[in-house]
Amino acid sequence: MNVLVMNPPNIPFTNSSLLAPPLDVVGLATLIKKYFDTSFLDMDALRIQEIPRNIYETIDVIVALIDYQIPLHTTKATEHLLEMIKKYGKEKKIIVIGKTPTYFSERFIKAGATVVIRGIYDEVIIPVLKNIFHIENLKQIPNLVLNETNKMILTKREILNNDYSKLPIPDYSFLNFQNYMDTATMITSRGCDGACKYCSTPFFFHRFQSRCAKDVVDEMEILVTKYHKKKIIFLDDNMTISKERMFEICKEIKKRKLFILLGCLSSIAHYDKALFETMYEVGFRWIHFGIESGSEEVLKKMGKPMNIDYIKQVIKEVKEIGFRVRTSFILDYPGSKVEDFNQTKNLILDLCPHEIRLHYLAYRPGTPVTYENPAEPVSTYIHSPKSSKDLFYQKEILLFLQDLEKKNYLVLLEDQEWSSYNELSKNTKFVSMVPMKYGMCWYE
């Protein structure tokens, strides 16, 4: 049986200078490859909206993964995937995986999908593929939504082990690295111990799981020695959630004398000065903290209570260690007042991070904030103003951006062609309302 594992196209296509490999899709293809003839298609990287005929004619099953660990697809991309399912589902078996399919299974079944896998796919994807032509056998597999002659059938819900540490290292031979940004990416864990109401990760993946230090550095070594990568960013939701594992990773990097510039996502709640100093010693130069608000009241509403003074202390220490620091802020969280917005502005000015990412709230499937605000459009992925109530933010943000420009920040309001920024110093500062490229201004 021939299986096509597909990353659907983003609509519009992702800015090519920002494009990262869809590692969650590569990981899925790597697992399936152990059992079936497997091909891989990144439609976003190739900038195509249909499966090429020469590929389509050779496959029996399409496996589409959307909005899983890396939530990059827009609402329009989801709608386009549904249209593809309507077209291809007449001739091919189609399996759909991801957060949006999990929470809106009926839409995908009505479009013609054969199976929707609800939640984590690890333990069910191979049994599903082995039984894809036998509906009665599929009914015995947990956590599925099935299409039986356009009738939707839900199989039993079951909590599976889904041991992340047992998943194989992604097979990078599926990728043409020329299609992607020069900074390599890795994902070495999933889940979170937080409960941020705007984030689906804690509620979709639940408990934190990770791969061991040796496997992590093995993968790094592949990227460095085989693919000659100079920079790697870890896209784990929180790379430092386990201090012990992070210390072990640093120890293994040092043991192998592996030099590469590194960056990762972290959280204020898991900051440890000794750990960050050790990370810096082995090549970590960039860190992202999702701070999200300068108002302690709003932070409590978000489900991530933090002390503002402690935030200031952490950012100061991390900058002193030598890290380039990116912070992100949600500007219009429900219930926010003008004074909350002003507190956020003041905190940003106090912190003076190297990179500032400003967001409007995206209501993502499966998040508590979405259920708490049913009048808002569910599955709105693009960070943009959603109604006239946001006019206040638009005006105030423009004034704030002017203030930051006076403090020597480069202000980015539209997608950039980042090649023009390659010669900037490590202290160059950005503030952006659009995605920023990873790996900018990382220097030894």
Q: What is the pLDDT of residues 271-326, one digit of tens each?
A: 999 999 999 999 999 999 999 999 999 999 999 999 999 999 999 999 999 999 99
Q: Is there a cis peptide before residue 12, judged by omega within 30 degrees of 0?
A: yes
Q: What is the 3-state secondary structure (H, E, C) of 79-133?
A: HHHHHHHHHHCCCCEEEEECHHHHHCHHHHHHHCCCEEECCCCCCCHHHHHHCCC
pLDDT attached to residue 431: 95
Q: Could you tell me the domains of the chain? A: 2-154 (3.40.50), 181-432 (3.20.20.70)
CA angle, 1 then 179 then 220, to 5°: 85
Is the pLDDT confidence value at 387 over 90? no
User: Which residues sit opposite 232 in a β-bridge?
Assistant: 184, 262
Q: What is the pLDDT of residues 110-130, one digit of tens each?
A: 999 999 999 999 999 999 999
* pTM for the structure as a whole: 0.94
Take residue 337 and report the two structure tokens written for it. 């007042």
CA 251 to chain centre: 27
Q: What is the pLDDT of residues 25-73, one digit of tens each?
A: 999 999 999 999 999 999 999 999 999 999 999 999 999 999 999 877 8
Is the pLDDT confidence value at 382 over 50? no
Distance CA 83, CA 109 (A): 12
